[in-house]
Amino acid sequence: MYFLHLIFLISPLLLRVSKAEVGDTDLNDLSEQQNSVQINKCCEENEIMVDSVCRLAELYNESLWQPLFKTEDGKDVKLKYFRFINGIPNCATTQQRPIFDLGKSEDKLNLLSDGRLMHLIHHQTNAQTIRDDSLLANSLNFHDIISIPEVKEPSSYIHVQNKYCMDKIFITSTNSTGQYALVCVPEVKINWKDTGFLMKKILNPIFHAIAMILFLTVAIIYFVLPTLRDLAGNIITTINVCLIVSQAADLVRIFTELSNHVSFMITDIILYVSLLGAFFWLNSFGFYIWKTFKSRNVFLRVTDVRKYCYYSSVVWSSVTLMAAMAICAHFLLDTGTNPYRKMKTQFSSSILIDDVEQETIGWLGIAIFFTPVAFTIIFNLFFYITTLKVIKRINIYGRIHYKLKGCFDLFLQLFLIMSMSWLFLMLSWLNFDGLLYAHIVVNLLQAILIFYVCVVRQNHVTFLLRKSCCYAQPIPTGEWGDEMTHMNGGNY
C-alpha cells in the first residue's frame, strides 16, 4: 500500500519534468530553424537550371538540388538546418558571371557551412578540353576579369551571401548534370606596377580622351571657318565626327568591371558602325577627287551642298544596310560563338533580368562590318593610282588644280593613317599583349597625325586661324568655298 501511494505521488512530478524537457527541445529546434544558414538558390524551389533557363525539374525527370556543405579545406560537413533564398545576386554596378562545375571543368564550387560559396580553380585542367566545351568557355570570361595568377596551385575566391546564387544544372545536349553558380565578379586589388593595368586602365582611357579632343578640334575648325565648308571640308568634318563616336564607344568598353548596366552589344554596334561610316566617307572623298580630276571642267563648284547630300544618302544607306546585315547575322546565323546568348531574355519563370552576362558582337557580325572596310581600302588604292596618273598628265595648273592636288595629298595621308590604325585594331584581337599595347599607342598617334595633316600642315588653314583668332579680322565668306578665295587673289 505504501508503495502504491508513493508511485501516485511521484508520477505527476515525473510527467511535468518530461514535458518540460520536450518543450525545451522544441524551443531549441525552433530557434535553430530560425537561425538556419541562408543559401541563395537561382531558381524556384521546384526548379533547376536547364541549359541556362530555370525549368521544372519534374519535366526532365531530374531530382531537385541538394546542397552539399564543405569546410574551407574541403572536408564534408553535415548541416541540419538551412533555408533557400530564391533569386539572382545583388551585384550593384559590378558584373555577373556564370560558373559551371561539371566535373571535367577546372572550376569547383564548394558551398561552405556558413552559407558562403568558394570558387576553386584548378589550373592543371587541359585547356583544349575547356576551349572545346562551349559551356565552359563561357566561364573563362570570369577568369579574365579577375586576373587569375599564373601559377599551378589552385586559386580560390569566396563569395559572401547575397553575392551569388547556386543551383543544379542539366545540359540537354550531353545529358549531364552539375552545379551552376551566378556570382558577382570580386573586386580586384589594383597593382599600380602592373604593365597591363597601366596600359589598359590608365593610359588607354587617357589616350582615348586626347584623341576625342583632337578629332573634335579638327571637326570644329572645318565646320566653323566658312571658306573650309566646301564639299571636301564637310567630308573631313564628317570623318572626324565618326571617329569621335567610335572613340567614345570604345572608351565605354574599357571599364568592364563597371558594365553591369551597360550593354556591350550596343557599344559594339556603335563602334563598328562609326568606323564603317568613317571609311565610307573616306572612300567618297577619294571618289570625289578622282571624279573631279577626270572631269573636263573643274570650275563647276556651285553644287557642293547638293553633292554632299547625295554622298550622305549613299554613304549612310550603305552603312545602315551593312549594320542590319551584321546584326541579323549575329542573332540568326552566328550560333556557334556563344550558345547562351538567349539567356539574357528570361532567366527564371518569375524573375526577369537583363544582364546575366555581357553579350558582344560575334565573329560573323564583325566580319560583315569589316569586310566592306577592306573593299574601301582596295577602292581607295584604285582612286589613288588612277588620279595620280591624271595629275602627271596635266601640264598647266590653275588655282583649282592646286587646291584639288592639296585635297589629293590630304586624302592619301588620311587613307594611310586610318588604314594603319584599322590594321592594328584587328591585330589587337590576337592573344598577344604586345599587339594590344601597340594598338593603344597607334590609336593616339592616329588622332595626332590626323590633326597634323588636316590643320597644322595645311597652310591656308593655319592662316585662317591666325587671321580670325590672333588678328580678329573678318574671314572672307562666299558660297564658292576656299577655291574662289584663291581665284580672287587671296594669298595664304
Residue 352's pLDDT band (cuts 50, 70, 90) = very low
User: Could you tell me the pTM of the whole model?
Assistant: 0.67
Q: What is the pLDDT of residues 143-185, one digit of tens each?
A: 333 333 444 455 777 888 888 888 888 888 788 888 888 888 7
Secondary structure (DSSP) of 376-431: HHHHHHHHHHHHHHHHHH-----HHHHHHHHHHHHHHHHHHHHHHHHHHHHHTTSS
Domain covering 37-184 assigned CATH 2.60.120 in the classification: no
DSSP annotation string for 142-173: HHHHHT--S-SSPEEEEE-TTSEEEEEEEETT
All 3 cell numbers of residue 334? 552566328
Instruction: Locate the DSSP E strands across 235-307.
Output: none
Alpha carbons 287 and 416: distance in angstroms, whole number: 16
1.20.1070.10, 1.10.287.1400, 1.20.1290.10, 1.10.10.10: CATH of 195-487: 1.20.1070.10
- Segment 363-385 shows an average pLDDT of 90
Please say whether the beta carbons of 307 and 231 come within 8 A. Answer: yes
pLDDT computed for residue 489 by the predictor: 39
Nearest residue to 97 via CA among 256, 247, 208, 240? 256
Q: What is the pLDDT of residue 442?
A: 95
* DSSP assignment letter at 177: E
User: Mean pLDDT: which of 97-111, 133-147, 295-309 is highest?
Assistant: 97-111
Does residue 301 contact residue 407 with C-beta atoms inside 8 Å?
no
Domain boundaries, the chain: 37-184, 195-487
Q: What confidence score (pLDDT) does residue 347 get?
A: 30
Task: Please report the pLDDT score of residue 12 as a whole number.
Answer: 55
Counted residue by residue, the chain has a size of 492
User: What pLDDT score was predicted for residue 425?
Assistant: 92
Tell me: the pLDDT tens digits for 329-351?
Answer: 888 876 544 433 333 322 333 33
* pLDDT at 127 > cutoff 50: no
The pLDDT tens digits for 73-105 are 778 888 777 888 888 887 776 777 888 888 777
- Residues 6+ positions from 481 with CB-CB distance below 8 Å: 227, 228, 229, 230, 231, 233, 301, 304
At 155, list the grid cell. Answer: 586559386
Q: Decide if 360 contacts 268 (C-beta within 8 A).
A: yes
Identical fold for domains 37-184 and 195-487, yes or no, is no
